[in-house]
Amino acid sequence: MPFAEPKRKHKTIPKTPQPPHNLHNQVRPTVTYYQSRSFSRKRDQ
């Protein structure tokens, strides 16, 4: 049973080599957005 999970993950890794790049691009803007929000919040306080 524990061997079935790693095998499945190994198969999904080579199948999605580009998605990581897209995810990183989408995560970056959200991080800056959250940072700017926290900055403005700290300024308000």
Place of tokens 């580009």: 18
Indicate the DSSP class of residue 15: H
**Cα–Cα distance for residue pair 9/17, rounded to 1 Å:** 13
Side-chain-facing half-sphere of 27: CA atoms under 13 Å: 6
**Cα–Cα distance for residue pair 42/38, rounded to 1 Å:** 6
**Rg of the chain over all Cα atoms, to the nearest angstrom:** 18
Q: What is the reported pLDDT for 18?
A: 58
Q: What is the reported pLDDT for 10?
A: 55
Low-confidence residues of the chain, pLDDT below 50?
none
